[in-house]
């Protein structure tokens, strides 16, 4: 049985910040946030008490830059006997936190929000 979950998150920011995300003083926020989200999904059980460690068969994190925001979409898959929604939500959340961390020096008004589960399937 394959279990899959998809979550999203959003970081709202000034248009100038959105335009600068790939060339920040700390580096490329999009690449770094993608990696951070994937790493976080794999370590969810270490971050959330009582969350089962799961063997993940696939994790994907994508970031899409808009005029005033970054939309984050994270998916996780496993064949374990429990769902992977916490892994997908953790990936989206940590990716959003990473964008915030990397851009906070140039934008003090950023907000993180709309982190939610979009889909949970079992096939």
Number of other residues whose CB lies within 10 A of the CB of residue 103: 24
d(CA 38, CA 88): 9
User: Which of the residues 28, 101, 107, 114 is marked catalytic?
Assistant: 101
Q: Is 101 a catalytic residue?
A: yes
Helix-strand-coil split of the chain, %, nearest 5: 35, 35, 25
List the beta bridge partners of residue 10.
71, 113
Q: Which residues are catalytic?
A: 101
């Amino acid at each position: 049985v394959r279990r899959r979950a998809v979550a999203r998150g959003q970081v709202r920011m000034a248009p100038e910040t959105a335009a600068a995300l790939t060339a920040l003083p700390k580096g490329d926020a999009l690449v770094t946030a993608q990696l951070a989200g994937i790493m976080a999904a794999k370590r969810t059980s270490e971050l959330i008490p009582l969350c089962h460690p799961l063997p993940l068969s696939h994790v994907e994190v994508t970031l899409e830059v808009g005029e005033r925001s970054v939309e984050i979409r994270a998916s996780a898959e496993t064949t374990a006997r429990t769902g992977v929604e916490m892994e997908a939500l953790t990936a989206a959340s940590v990716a959003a936190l990473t964008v915030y961390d990397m851009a906070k020096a140039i934008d003090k008004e950023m907000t993180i929000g709309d982190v939610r589960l979009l889909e949970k399937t079992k096939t």
